[in-house]
Amino acid sequence: MDVKVVLSSDEIIRGLKHYRRIAKQDLLRSAETDNPDAFRRHAEARRTVYAHLTEIAQTQSPSDVVLEALRRYQELPFVTGTDDGTYTEIKGEENALENFFLMIGLEPKVRREVRSQRPPMSSPPS
């Protein structure tokens, strides 16, 4: 898949650092929410994705970071529309990757194409 990336590695790293800070703030305030455990797990999943993409951005090209994000997005089971509090980590990863796609200005058509290839969820919620 050919993707155009207009951001430099440094810009991507700065953006991911910003998103990680937001996820950390969410971790800190999770105890104040209606479902602290789910809120915490969602924030941790986002932070993990941002950290992983940051590591790649530090050693590889911006296109490589985007391709890795698209690969991870395509591998995520499709859980949209499931009950709140279910598949929290998957939803956190999905949210982080979609935030990343917005940050880099990925064409919505590319995201939709990859999203359509995601597998359905096959096991009961955890």
Which tens digit of pLDDT belongs to each residue from 25-66? 999 999 999 999 999 999 999 999 999 999 999 999 999 999
Alpha carbon distance, N-terminus to C-terminus of the chain: 33
Model confidence at 95: pLDDT above 80? yes
Q: Which pLDDT score is estimated for 1?
A: 65
pTM: 0.91
| Model pLDDT, residue 81 | 83
Phi and psi of 78, rounded to 5°? -80, 115
Domain boundaries, the chain: 9-115
